[in-house]
Structure 1
Amino acid sequence: MSNVRVKICGLSTETTLDAALDAGADLVGFVHFAKSPRHLSLEAAGRLAGRARGRAERVLLLVDPDDDLLAAAIEAVDPDLIQLHGRESPERVAFLRRHGGRPIMKALGIARAEDLAALAVWSDVADRLLLDAKPPPGAALPGGNGIAFDWDLLAQSRLPEHTMLSGGLDAANVAEALARTGLSAVDVSSGVEVRPGEKDPARIAAFVTAARRQPAMRRRG
């Protein structure tokens, strides 16, 4: 049986959430960021998170939250993990982890080999790392732009445990991405949409199936 873990991010309706859960997604993500087409109010995210309780890990995506927003988000959504997708410093991530009392997944933009140099610092303050394509100049969104970085950058790197791959993934390329990076966890959002913010149940199911078609390669030391 495949050991690949799959996260479907940016879910916004009961129908698409149920599709992700029925497909066997390990993690389901809800976005609270007003500029995103996948944005949910905390109340709406809380309703969906309650529906997923006990069936998958529930992840709430925030961008540079202040202390008050973090507290309100935890109270309203009760997420299993907080995903930070902004410009938070390692010190801020460590503080939010302590202050919120929830595990943190920190998203990091990757474009060049040099971007991997600081991963050890981040792994000291976050429970999981999410490697996404660095957004293009002037992009409104820090992630979810549907673009991939060069996966071969990761092939010879020693990555921290619990590292997840994101950026430009879909059912057609996820198996190749897993094989080329040696990772065993993937995150998809735009790759299972028919248009920005609108998930497709059939694409969700196809992505989970493709990701688990064969076990990811084990990383060589």
Structure 2
Amino acid sequence: MPLIVKICGLSTIETLDAALQAGADMVGFVFFPPSPRHLELPRARELSPQVRGRAGKVALTVDADDATLSGIIEAMRPDLLQLHGKETVARIREIKRLFGLPVMKAIGVETAADLAELPGYAAVADRLLFDARPPKDATRPGGLGVPFDWRLLENLSLEVPFMLSGGLAAGNIHDAVCITRAGGVDVSSGVESSPGVKDAGMIRDFIRAARAAETSLRGVTSHVE
């Protein structure tokens, strides 16, 4: 399966276009006021048509209520909902029932104990996203630019596809993909010049490095087979 590359936290026409032209498979928009990447609904309506089927549109929310989700869906018609809070298995099931959209649930990882909840989430989510568990005093659950020990995901066996996030950048994406064998990678702060400010050149470099890592991994796999 091809490696899915997602650029998250986009907020300008210029950087969204850079991600699309460089070949991003998914583009993410953040709807969470404490984040420097938070997008207001009028801006989402402005950016959404630019995607025009060129990539999957992902709406990231954190413990959003039904009214908030409804407003986001009306504004941008996402292809995927990314739930980055403390949403329970029951809540995910309810969101899917109400809105009829696929869901990707983010799982914060620091130790192997954080993977204990996987079976429940894997049973209802369409995708899983492994991110670094934020510090206790953090004001947001992701986009902090911190990696976790990727070896925790070695030999992971799941019936749903999973993606990797947390501190990824062009310089470490090769190791991240080779260690975890993730089906996708998700970057935000790793392609920013400052918090919330995406850099078009860094976006292009990341996607180029991710494609190189994908090619390298395919070569290793083919050699083993």
Q: What TM-score comes out, normalization by structure 1 length? A: 0.95
SS in 2 for 1:60: strand
Question: Counterpart in 2 of 1:137?
Answer: 136
Question: Counterpart in 2 of 1:168?
Answer: 167
Identity %: 52
The 5-angstrom pairing of residues 177-196 of structure 1 reads: 177-196=176-195
Question: Counterpart in 2 of 1:51?
Answer: 50
Q: Distance in 2 between matches of 1:209 and 1:153?
A: 26
- Aligned-residue offset at 1:157: 2.2
The answer on 1:17 being equivalent to 2:21 is no
Question: Counterpart in 2 of 1:68?
Answer: 67
RMSD: 1.4
* Number of residue equivalences: 218
Q: What letter is aligned with 1:86?
A: G
1:132 and 1:165 in contact (8 A); partners too: yes
Q: What letter is aligned with 1:105?
A: M
Question: Counterpart in 2 of 1:106?
Answer: 105
Q: Distance in 2 between matches of 1:119 and 1:193?
A: 30
Write 1 or 2 for the structure with the bigger share of helix: 2
2:173 and 2:213 in contact (8 A); partners too: no
SS in 1 for 2:138: coil
1:8 and 1:29 in contact (8 A); partners too: yes
Gaps of 5+ in 1: none
- Aligned-residue offset at 1:37: 0.2
- Deviating beyond 6 angstroms after TM superposition, the runs of 4 or more aligned structure 1 residues are none
Q: Distance in 1 between matches of 2:135 and 2:158?
A: 24
- Aligned-residue offset at 1:155: 0.7
- Aligned-residue offset at 1:64: 0.7
Q: Distance in 2 between matches of 1:185 and 1:68?
A: 30
Q: What TM-score comes out, normalization by structure 2 length? A: 0.93
- Aligned-residue offset at 1:43: 1.8
The CA deviation string for residues 31-58 of structure 1, in whole angstroms up to 9 with x for no partner, is 0110000011112112212210210000
Q: Distance in 2 between matches of 1:160 and 1:132?
A: 19
